[in-house]
Structure 1
Amino acid sequence: MVRATGKSEAVYERLKGDIESLRLRPGAKLSEVQLGEELGASRTPVREAIRRLAREGLVDFVPGEVARVASISLGGVRALFEFRMLLEPEATASVATSGTARDHVLVPFRELLEQLEEFDTSFRALGAAEQERDYQGFYDLTESFDQAVIAACRNPYLARTIRDLRSQTVRLRHLSHSGPRRMLTSLEEHRAMLKAITQGDAQAASAACRHHLAQTLRALIDSLTAHDFLLGADVQVGMAG
């Protein structure tokens, strides 16, 4: 039940979380009436939340139908990562450069590197079944890294553009890290980025970021095809709710 205060914000956060985590699948219908009943909210805050999510690209409006969770297409994923590869390596390099002149910039990245080492050690000690349940700790680490880069990026326009893409990238994270092996590989990629940043090596930071994005894109394509999501060159992925 959504509380009376801040209902629109609460409905938005709930729906956004469900979409990003894939609890609401791509293509799922979003009925204002049904959602209102489930969340204990009137149609107005539900409608406002859906429109807000549509502006972020997480919801599509289909003429003559209710809103649906935005579909995922191979072409869309590739386009997104092409754009990210233009932005994020530059931002990562910018942070590494800033750290050479302003040491306090590097503090959160040093802390994240320590946390990553601790998580890596504990994760490798788990059994396969336990590893499958320990994804949230990994997601928290990578989210903290992404947010730290955004916060430390010297170019406010670059930082804002990367931030605006977060909803799309978070949703795809659950597809790109589809198993413990990919998670461990991604940990190595984040370790490389963090080490380059903390050492003030802008070129290495940029290269490590570009490599991470390329590997993530490859994992995403593998995940989409492995789950029979991909039916053609640019066929939308989704299950109607």
Structure 2
Amino acid sequence: MARAAGKAEVVYERLKGDIESLRLRPGAKLSEIQLGEQLGASRTPVREAIRRLAREGLVDFVPGEVARVATISLGGVRELFEFRMMLEPRAVASVATTPHERVLEPFRELSLRVNEFDESFRTLASAEQALSYRDFYELTESFDQAVIDACRNRYLARTIRDLRSETARLRHLSHSGPRRMLTSLEEHRAMLKAITQKDAEAASAACRHHLAQTLQALIDSLTSQDFTLGSEIHLDVVG
């Protein structure tokens, strides 16, 4: 039983990573048989992984039918960001009002990391810049996690955390070029500055601005690409 549970976790992490990175395109079919053959797993752990991803909003799962990677639509993206704009500005404002200096240390460290990345990125050639996107995503992920960890309202923090699976794959669409990525760095720098200076109003405003800019970048990206059509899955075997 423990071995099966471990295999389900491996399959889940692999599929989640492929969905969030868009290696598995929205609408792609997720055949339990095909996945099992490619990932070296029986149908039970594959089915468990797919159901778990469906609960997180990454898979459209209808019992008795082939599951598919959840599609990305303009309407869905707008609804998601409307909800995020209700939550995240309040969360960063909450962090900025903390009376405990130690809570702000991760944000001061992130400010230094953002500055270092920015300076390094601007010196790279275009081909090298493309290889740096993973580092950028790790920075923004660290910021999001730091806000969740430091948020003074645990219900608010939990809700934001539960949305992360749906927002993760959108990050690859909203930062589709170096210009937008550098702009996003500036937006994160503004949020970090406001938080470390304990300026709740500025932190909230900077967060709203960042979300609005990200939404517009997503709209631009989605209207120039087709993310409603599926594709057959091709995965490397999990070791």
Q: Same fold (TM over 0.5)?
A: yes
Corresponding position: 1:202 with 2:200: yes
Q: Does structure 2 conserve the Cα–Cα contact (< 8 Å) formed by 1:88 and 1:162?
A: yes
Q: Distance in 2 between matches of 1:218 and 1:9?
A: 35
Corresponding position: 1:147 with 2:138: no
Q: Does structure 2 conserve the Cα–Cα contact (< 8 Å) formed by 1:193 and 1:208?
A: yes
The DSSP-based 3-state class of the residue aligned with 1:126 is coil
Partner of 1:80: 80
**Please, which moves more after superposition, 136-145 or 5-14?**
5-14
Deviation at 1:64, TM superposition (A): 5.8
Provide the TM-score with structure 2 as the length reference. 0.93
Partner of 1:117: 115
The DSSP-based 3-state class of the residue aligned with 2:97 is helix
Q: Does structure 2 conserve the Cα–Cα contact (< 8 Å) formed by 1:59 and 1:68?
A: yes
1:15-70 alpha-carbon deviations (Å, 9 max, x no partner):
00000000000000001011111111110000000000000010002576300000
Provide the TM-score with structure 1 as the length reference. 0.93
Q: Distance in 2 between matches of 1:96 and 1:51?
A: 38
Percent identity between matched residues is 80
User: What one-letter code is carried by the residue in structure 2 that aligns with 1:162?
Assistant: I
Partner of 1:61: 61
For these two proteins, the number of residue pairs brought into alignment is: 230
The DSSP-based 3-state class of the residue aligned with 1:6 is helix
1:136-166 alpha-carbon deviations (Å, 9 max, x no partner):
0000000000000000001010000000000
Partner of 2:28: 28
For structure 1, the 5+ residue unaligned runs are 230-235
Measured on the aligned residues, the alpha-carbon RMSD in Å equals: 1.3
Deviation at 1:223, TM superposition (A): 0.6
Q: Does structure 1 conserve the Cα–Cα contact (< 8 Å) formed by 2:51 and 2:61?
A: no
User: What one-letter code is carried by the residue in structure 2 that aligns with 1:237?
Assistant: T
The DSSP-based 3-state class of the residue aligned with 1:23 is coil
1:188-223 alpha-carbon deviations (Å, 9 max, x no partner):
000000000000000000000000000000000001
Partner of 1:128: 126
Counterparts of residues 144-183 of structure 1 (less than 5 Å):
144-183=142-181
Corresponding position: 1:237 with 2:228: yes
1:216-239 alpha-carbon deviations (Å, 9 max, x no partner):
000000011122x2xxxxxx7232
The DSSP-based 3-state class of the residue aligned with 2:201 is helix
Corresponding position: 1:97 with 2:87: no
Deviation at 1:115, TM superposition (A): 0.4
